[in-house]
Each structure stands twice: as structure tokens, then as C-alpha cells.
Amino acid sequence: MLKTPASIALKEAPDHHDAELVMKLYDLRREPVMRESRAQINRDFWPKSADDVLAVVKSDHPLNAALRQTSTYWEMAYGMVKHGILHAEYMLESNGEGLLLFARMEPYLAEYRKARGPSAFANAEWVTTHTDVGRQILEMFRARVAARK
């Protein structure tokens, strides 16, 4: 029987497997194309409306590839927490950057999901609603996003 995320227990303590996975995530973040995609999103993607978000969905938008790369990377990483593969607090101590992207998308998430699919940003959302550290990081990033408006 396939377990649903609600039935998967979060890891109680990190172990050496968590350390190996977090280091691998770090290595992948340093890959040149990923590094440039992250830099573009962190520097240039500050949507002020659902239209701004939906414009990036178009394949000819200059940030389209960067958004797809960074969002899927963070969704895979946060999925490891959601499915009990990685210890939540340990992972999020050094991998909260994806929640900054989520904080930017959050106000427009319904429109984005309508355009891209209902599971868009589901793992980031899960981390922010099911872990204390995820909630704390999201609150910090929500304040940053609000300050930019």
C-alpha cells in the first residue's frame, strides 16, 4: 500500500544519510546553470501581480527557464522532507532559499496552479504548513517580500 504524506512520520533526528543528501543538494546548487538560474530568480523575480507570475510561464519570457529550474529543484528537495527522507529542521537550516521563491509565489498561487497544475509548489507549501522551522522561515521571507512592494 502506498503511503500518503499524512501517514509518513517526519524524521526525529538527522543522521549521516541526511548529511550526505544535504551536501549533494549543496553541490547541485553550485552547478553553473543552476547557480545562474538561482541568481536570476533571486535578483529579478519580484512579482507584484498574478499577471507578472503568469507572464513568466510563457516560454519566451527571459525568466521562464530559470523559474522552471529553480522551482523544480526546490520542489524535489522539499519533497524529501515531506516524504520522510530528510530531517526537516536539519535540511531547512541551510536550504530555506526555496521558501523565498514560495513567499513570492504564494499570493498568486491559485492563479499559477490553475495555469500550471494543482500540484505546483505543493512540497514547499507542505514544508511551511507541517514543520515549525518551515513556518518560521516563511514568515521571515513574507516580511522581506512585503518590504519590496
Count structural domains, the chain: 1
Q: What range does the domain containing 94 cover?
A: 14-148
pLDDT at 11: 78
| Cell numbers describing residue 133 | 522551522
Confirm whether 3 is domain-assigned: no
Residue 66's alpha-carbon distances to 20, 37, 51, 73, 93, in angstroms, are 26, 4, 18, 11, 24
Confirm whether 1 is domain-assigned: no
Q: How much is the mean pLDDT over the chain?
A: 92
Confirm whether 110 is domain-assigned: yes
Question: How many other C-beta atoms are found inside a 10 Å radius of the C-beta of residue 19?
Answer: 12
pLDDT at 5: 59
pLDDT at 13: 82
Confirm whether 6 is domain-assigned: no
The number of residues in the chain equals 149
Confirm whether 71 is domain-assigned: yes
* CA 37 from centroid of its chain's CA atoms: 14
pLDDT at 2: 41
pLDDT at 1: 36
Confirm whether 2 is domain-assigned: no
Low-confidence stretches of the chain (pLDDT beneath 50): 1-2, 4
- pTM for the full predicted model: 0.90
Query: What are the respective helix, strand and coil percentages of the chain, to the nearest 5?
Result: 75, 0, 25
29-32 own/partner pairs: CB under 8 Å, 24+ apart = 29/73
